[in-house]
Structures are given as C-alpha cells and as structure tokens.
C-alpha cells in the first residue's frame, strides 16, 4: 500500500510518481493540466509545483483539489484547508506601461525544457522601487511568482488565453 500522504505542499511530480493513476483525474478537474503529458514540463515544472500552486493554475479551490485526490486513493479528507487566494481580476493601479524596465518572453525557454527563474532573478536584481518587470509565459508560473514576491515584489498576472499569461512584478519601496 502506498503511504505517500497528499497535502497542499505535495509536489505534482511526487504525486504522479506515487499515484500515476491520478493523472487523468487531474486533467479532468482542470484541462490546463493536459500539459503534464509533455515530458519536458513534467520533468521540470511539475517537480517544483505544489498542489497548492497547481490549484491556482487550474483555478480550482485547493481544498477541492487536494481532497478529491486524497479520496481517490483512500485517504480521509483534510479539514480546514483554506479555499486559496483567487487571482486579482482588476489591473492594479501600479501597473503603468512607462514603468516597465524589463521584458522577457519566457515561452521559448520553457518550450526548450528550461526554466526562466535564473534569468528573472538576474533581471530583477538591480531594479529600483516603482520599476516593473514583465514576463510572458504559457501558463501561470506560481512557483516563480512566489520566488519573486519573496524578493520584495508585488505581482499581478493578466491571463490573455489558456496558453498566454503576462506576469508583472513591481519592485516595492
């Protein structure tokens, strides 16, 4: 019997290694998870993405995602899970075109199996308060956003299409 306990902090890669039968359920819950079929994304992004972050990407309440997966493998529901933070729908007042000092289209990097985190962290290093970094990605890069926010930035993402996200990072004062 598999003893891997599923929580919001479980990495998607670890989940699918322990319970490969859950892949179809994930895709059924959020079609955006079809990207897990891509072996490059599975080896890279899925290794660092937690179920909590995946819930944000799939626009599913984290408690619903985690408990559905737990029940499918015979684990009891976790009580008291937060519903998760919903994305900010309205464009923030701080987002001004003339404040964007760096732009990165990370789609080619990701498509080649790379991860843009190093380039982003280098790009934000010398930014001044009030300056904005813009990054285009084919999905919501929740782990990367967490890293940048940890570095002292606000963030906002504009979802233009299922595979077109524009992520903005504002250097705080």
- What mean pLDDT is predicted for residues 132-150? 88
Reply yes or no on whether the pLDDT at 123 is more than 90: yes
Q: Tell me whether residue 92 is in a domain.
A: no
Write down the pLDDT at residue 130: 96
Q: How confident is the model at residue 81 (pLDDT cuts 50, 70, 90)?
A: low
Torsional sign, CA 170, 131, 138, 162: positive
Largest interatomic CA distance in the chain: 57
- What mean pLDDT is predicted for residues 129-154? 89
60 and 107 share one domain: no
Q: Tell me whether residue 4 is in a domain.
A: no
Q: Tell me whether residue 87 is in a domain.
A: no
Residue 166 · residue 140 · CB < 8 Å? no
Reply yes or no on whether the pLDDT at 82 is more than 50: no
109 and 60 share one domain: no
- What mean pLDDT is predicted for residues 134-146? 87
66 and 105 share one domain: no
17 and 65 share one domain: yes
112 and 162 share one domain: yes
Please state the domain count of the chain: 2
Task: Give the CATH number of the domain where residue 114 resides.
Answer: 3.40.50.150
Residue 92 · residue 154 · CB < 8 Å? yes
Q: Tell me whether residue 106 is in a domain.
A: yes
32 and 68 share one domain: yes
Reply yes or no on whether the pLDDT at 136 is more than 60: yes
Pick the closest to residue 27 from 62, 69, 77 (CA basis): 69
142 and 103 share one domain: yes
Neighbouring C-beta atoms of residue 138, cutoff 10 Å: 16
Average pLDDT, the chain: 86
66 and 102 share one domain: no
Picking from 68-72, 81-85, 99-103, 154-158, which range would have the lowest pLDDT averaged per residue? 81-85
66 and 108 share one domain: no
Residue 141 domain boundaries: 97-171
pTM over 0.85: no
Q: Tell me whether residue 28 is in a domain.
A: yes
Write down the pLDDT at residue 83: 42
- What mean pLDDT is predicted for residues 104-122? 92
Write down the pLDDT at residue 89: 58
Residue given tokens 């029940």 in the structure block: 71
55 and 103 share one domain: no
Domain boundary among 21, 55, 72: 72
DSSP, residue by residue, 28-61: HH-GGGGGGGSHHHHHTHHHH-BHHHHHHHHT--
Pick the closest to residue 124 from 115, 134, 114 (CA basis): 134
Q: Tell me whether residue 84 is in a domain.
A: no
Q: Tell me whether residue 19 is in a domain.
A: yes
Q: Tell me whether residue 85 is in a domain.
A: no
Pick the closest to residue 75 from 6, 167, 164, 162 (CA basis): 6
Give the model confidence (pLDDT) of 7-62 as tens digits: 888 999 999 999 999 999 998 998 888 888 888 888 888 888 889 888 888 888 88
Q: Would you call 107 helix, strand, or coil by DSSP? A: helix
């Amino acid at each position: 019997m598999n003893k891997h306990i599923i929580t919001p902090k479980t990495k998607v890669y670890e989940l699918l290694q322990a319970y490969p039968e859950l892949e179809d359920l994930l895709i059924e819950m959020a079609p955006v998870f079809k990207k897990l079929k891509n072996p490059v994304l599975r080896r890279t992004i899925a290794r660092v993405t937690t179920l909590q972050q995946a819930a944000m990407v799939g626009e599913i309440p984290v408690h619903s995602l985690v408990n559905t997966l737990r029940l499918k493998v015979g684990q009891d529901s976790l009580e008291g899970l937060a519903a998760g933070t919903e994305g900010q729908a309205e464009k923030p007042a701080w987002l001004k075109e003339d404040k964007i000092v760096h732009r990165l289209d990370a789609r080619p990097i990701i498509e080649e199996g790379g991860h843009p985190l190093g380039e982003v962290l280098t790009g934000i290093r010398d930014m001044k308060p009030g300056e904005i970094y813009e990054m285009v990605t084919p999905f919501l890069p929740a782990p990367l956003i967490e890293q940048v926010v940890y570095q002292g930035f606000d963030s906002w993402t504009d979802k233009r299409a299922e595979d077109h996200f524009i992520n903005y990072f504002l250097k705080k004062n």
